[in-house]
């Protein structure tokens, strides 16, 4: 049995059972200007919002009143956010897998370059210079060409003419050569 409270002219009476409330309603002792609430933790509502169940004998009198809720945009936003959070991982797992693979390959290439730089340092007691320059300080080869033998690309390294610029016609086919591991 639910506890009902009646508020009339700022005076609160109750608690009333479902049966007592129905009796007050059917005898006309509750008017449309009265306020009612179910329990102590809810707000008072207009008495004309009482469900029709009290006036229908075939319905269960002891069932609790389910208040109708108005449309709440905050609830809609929360539901949409939850739906998106659930659907995003399900939509395209392949994208995340492939990006992880790319990161792994890139990380491996960086490790190989770092290892090649250290091997170059061991053999030459210095790291490769940023660039090889001519007498007029125009750079014509970079450090990348110098570590090719340590990246297992010695054949490409031997084809490079270090007396000419990297973009000279003789070196162009070599500068466009892709690494077999990429």
Helices (H), the chain: 18-26, 73-91, 93-124, 143-146, 154-159, 172-175
Beta carbons of 8 and 34 less than 8 angstroms apart: yes
Name every residue whose Cβ is closer than 8 Å to that of residue 113 and which is 6 or more positions away in sequence.
147, 151
Q: In 3D, which of 26, 33, 28, 27 has the Cα closest to residue 11? A: 33
> What b-and-e string marks burial along 93-118, b requiring 16 or more CB atoms within 10 Å of the CB?
eeeeeeeeeeeeeeeeeeebeeebbe
For residue 133, what is the enclosing H or E element? strand 131-133
Q: Give CA torsion, residues 50, 44, 65, 52, to 10 deg.
A: 0
- pLDDT exceeds 80 at position 112: yes
The full set of domain ranges for the chain reads: 4-55, 73-99, 105-175
- pLDDT 10s digits, 2-38: 788 888 888 888 788 888 878 887 787 887 778 888 8
- pLDDT 10s digits, 134-170: 777 777 788 888 888 888 888 888 888 877 877 778 7
- pLDDT 10s digits, 61-96: 444 454 555 667 777 788 888 888 887 776 666 666
Beta carbons of 54 and 25 less than 8 angstroms apart: yes
Q: What is the pLDDT of residue 54?
A: 55
Give the residues across from 16 on adjacent strands.
4
């Amino acid at each position: 049995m639910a506890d009902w409270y009646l508020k009339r002219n700022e005076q609160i009476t109750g608690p009333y059972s479902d049966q007592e409330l129905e009796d007050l309603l059917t005898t006309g002792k509750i008017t449309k200007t009265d306020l009612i609430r179910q329990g102590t933790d809810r707000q008072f509502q207009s008495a004309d919002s009482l469900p029709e169940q009290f006036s229908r004998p075939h319905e269960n009198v002891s069932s609790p009143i389910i208040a109708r809720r108005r449309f709440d945009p905050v609830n809609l936003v929360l539901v949409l956010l939850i739906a998106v959070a659930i659907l995003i991982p399900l939509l395209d797992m392949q994208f995340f897998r492939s990006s992880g693979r790319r990161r792994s390959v890139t990380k491996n290439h960086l490790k190989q370059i770092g290892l090649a730089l250290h091997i170059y340092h061991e053999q030459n007691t210095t790291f490769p210079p940023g660039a090889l320059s001519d007498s007029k300080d125009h750079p014509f080869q970079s450090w990348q060409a110098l570590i090719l033998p340590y990246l297992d690309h010695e054949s490409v390294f031997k084809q490079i003419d270090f007396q000419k610029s990297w973009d000279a016609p003789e070196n162009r086919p070599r500068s466009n050569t892709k690494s077999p591991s990429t």
